[in-house]
């Protein structure tokens, strides 16, 4: 139900956010509420604002070029509002429906046909990141990899960039060809970030490590969520956040996204 002008929740939202929120956070909240057709709870808006303010304080917000918080919004349309106002809304392929979306734990892939595509600024070879928040586990067995996020070259192998996983393994590439696999069961935040030609950083289960793989090129500008476009590795798990852009500190982004998800879960009835 849309809140009326004198509804206490509406007035509370004005009191909390009227002039007190970060400008970019307020613009995002306003866009989500317009897509939802109703207001967000004050606690949800506070959590979103804290995320924006925290990322800016950490110096990582500017590196996020394509991103969605796939949680918090009241509707799927609201969840597909881009975090960065200059980006277009992701294309919903399949498509996902209202029944695939849960405000607390995000958007559920069906493992076969549903995925998102989103334009991303021209990729850089030695400054790049991808990150996701996995809110339900991957059950596929090796070698049946599932891919939550990927950018792929139009031809050849140079510049492949992806995070793929099974129930027991995580495979990553970051602007390169070969890729690297680690035997670990992953959950929550996963990310890769390259800031140099010789190696990149991979973060899994709150731990970061350097992967010595040299960059070889750049992928196409299209960002794929819930699938690897070349191999058809559709994800059948839930995502509540994704981002891509320039290199950044993955530990800082992990902390901000993890806090956001916890705060949203507490704020949503």
What are 111-121's pLDDT values in tens digits? 999 999 999 87
- In a domain, residue 86? The reply is yes
Contacts of 72 by beta carbon, 8 Å cutoff, 6+ apart? 32, 40, 44, 47, 48, 78, 79, 103, 264, 268
- In a domain, residue 18? The reply is yes
pLDDT for 123 equals 86
pLDDT > 90 fraction of the chain, expressed in percent and rounded: 89
- In a domain, residue 3? The reply is no
Contacts of 257 by beta carbon, 8 Å cutoff, 6+ apart? 51, 131, 133, 189, 241
Global pTM value: 0.92
- In a domain, residue 145? The reply is yes
- In a domain, residue 141? The reply is yes
Under a CB-based contact definition with an 8 Å cutoff, are residues 22 and 53 in contact? yes
Number of domain units in the chain: 1
Helices marked H in the chain: 8-17, 23-36, 42-58, 76-79, 250-267
CATH number assigned to the domain comprising residue 241 = 2.60.120.200
pLDDT, tens only, 106-156: 999 999 999 999 998 778 999 999 999 999 999 998 889 999 999 999 999
Output the CA angle 156-157-160, nearest 5 degrees.
Answer: 130
pLDDT along the chain (269 residues), means of 10: 40 49 98 98 98 98 97 98 95 98 98 95 92 94 94 94 97 97 96 98 98 97 95 96 97 98 97
Residue 196 structural domain: 8-267
pLDDT for 16 equals 43
- In a domain, residue 97? The reply is yes
- In a domain, residue 122? The reply is yes
- For 222-249, b/e burial (b = at least 16 CB within 10 A) is bbbbbbbbeeebbbbbbbbbbbbbbbbb
């Amino acid at each position: 139900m849309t809140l009326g002008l004198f509804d206490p929740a509406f007035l509370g939202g004005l009191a909390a956010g009227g002039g007190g929120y970060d400008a970019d956070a307020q613009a995002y909240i306003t866009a989500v509420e317009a897509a939802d057709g109703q207001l967000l709870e004050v606690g949800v808006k506070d959590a979103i604002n804290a995320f924006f303010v925290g990322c800016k304080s950490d110096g990582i917000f500017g590196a996020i070029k394509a991103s969605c918080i796939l949680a918090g919004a009241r509707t799927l349309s609201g969840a597909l509002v881009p975090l960065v106002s200059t980006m277009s809304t992701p294309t919903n392929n399949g498509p996902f429906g209202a029944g695939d979306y849960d405000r607390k734990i995000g958007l559920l892939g069906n493992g076969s046909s549903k995925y998102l595509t989103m334009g991303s600024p021209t990729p850089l070879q030695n400054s790049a990141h991808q990150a996701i928040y996995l809110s339900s586990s991957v059950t596929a067995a090796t070698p049946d990899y599932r891919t939550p996020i990927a950018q792929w070259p139009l031809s050849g192998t140079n510049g492949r960039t992806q995070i793929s996983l099974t129930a027991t393994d995580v495979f990553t590439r970051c602007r390169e060809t070969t890729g690297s696999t680690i035997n670990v069961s992953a959950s929550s935040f996963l990310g890769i970030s390259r800031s140099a030609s010789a190696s990149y950083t991979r973060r899994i289960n709150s731990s970061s490590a350097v992967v010595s793989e040299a960059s070889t090129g750049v992928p196409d500008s299209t960002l794929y969520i819930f699938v690897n476009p070349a191999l058809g590795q559709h994800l059948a798990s839930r995502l509540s956040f994704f981002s891509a852009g320039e290199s950044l500190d993955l530990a800082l982004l992990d902390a901000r996204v993890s806090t956001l998800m916890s705060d949203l879960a507490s704020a949503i009835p």
